[in-house]
Amino acid sequence: MTWQPHITVATLVEDNGRFLMVEELKGGRAVLNQPAGHLDPHETLTEAAVRETLEETGWDVEATGIVGIYLYTAPSNGVTYQRVCFTAKALKHHPDYQLDEGIIRARWLTRDELMALRDSWRSELIIRCIDDYLAGQRHSLELIRPSL
């Protein structure tokens, strides 16, 4: 068996204590996640984060930093994900943007509201990224080096 981690990105967009979240269908139920997804061929991690945020929320964002790099093995399927979590600034909302299949809607939620909805989290990475962000974990985008 070949073990292959999945490279993913997520974006934390904060506005006055509220975080841009995605409500999506996973396994037949509605779950909450940061805007997140897989790296596509020939794109940078930063480009992937900006693209995924638009596709899942209808928001144009500008990546401003990195909260952290996380390794997570999903208990539901045993798949290991390496997530690079970015911070970003909301630039413009496109309310009529056709969101990705499976996306129900974008929501702005406070940390307390998220804690009350814990049973709806897609994974524990949601709160870990937010708590790291709130603790001041911010790294320069220069942490990510372009390919040669």
What is the rounded average pLDDT for all residues in the chain? 93
Backbone angles phi, psi at 40, to 5 degrees: -90, 160
Domains located in the chain, CATH noted: 6-143 (3.90.79.10)
What pTM did the predictor assign?
0.92
Q: Which pLDDT band holds residue 47 (cuts at 50, 70, 90)?
A: very high
* Exposure string for 12-38, b = 16+ CB within 10 A, e = fewer: bbbeeeebbbbbbeeeeeebbbbbbbe
What the block records as the tokens of 113 is 């509201």
| 146 has a pLDDT exceeding 80 | no
Q: Rounded to whole angstroms, how far apart are CA atoms 111 and 127?
A: 8
For residues 101-130, average pLDDT: 96
Find all residues with CB under 8 Å of 7, minimum gap 6, and list them: 38, 39, 45, 81, 82, 84
What are 75-98's pLDDT values in tens digits? 878 888 899 999 999 999 999 999
